[in-house]
Amino acid sequence: MAQSAVDKELSIGEILGRAVSIYANNAIDFLIVYIGAAIITGGLGVMFLSAGIRAISELQTTSEITPSTLNQLFGLLASSVLVAIIDGLVNAIRDGAAVKLTSDYLTSLSCDFQVALSFVAPKAISIIVATVISSVIIVLGFLFLVVP
């Protein structure tokens, strides 16, 4: 069930205990959000994979690169970028809904995955911007770690 609001700083054990109890007691709500996102992104991935297999098999049967082959490769590249953008959007909304569900459970509010999704959907642009900024920071940090 719902947890009470936090009045003091929690220890690591208390944080882990609350996290496990929240996710164990309300697994269905979280599974609905995560499985729904997996179906959307997985379906797009399967379509992209089948197009890639067709393009690669055509490249293996011909000895030279024709304009139609180049068009297929550029189409494959464009569709992969589009799938990546859609995947990022769906995953950002999914993660935002999971955070909203967890927040509602911790503050003892009424919890429903549809309410969480409707709360997150208008904020999708700001979530995407935050995701892009954090991704850039992670990539830059990785580059600064590896390059020196």
Local confidence band at 148 (pLDDT 50, 70, 90 cut-offs): low
Share of the chain above pLDDT 70, in %: 88
Cβ proximity of 93 and 121 under 8 Å: yes
How far is it, in rounded angstroms, from Cα 76 to Cα 84?
Answer: 12
DSSP state of 65: -
pLDDT for residue 1: 46
Task: Supply the pTM of this predicted model.
Answer: 0.65
22-62 pLDDT, tens digit each: 888 878 878 888 888 889 888 888 887 777 777 777 666 66
58-102 pLDDT, tens digit each: 666 666 777 777 777 787 788 788 888 888 888 888 888 888 888
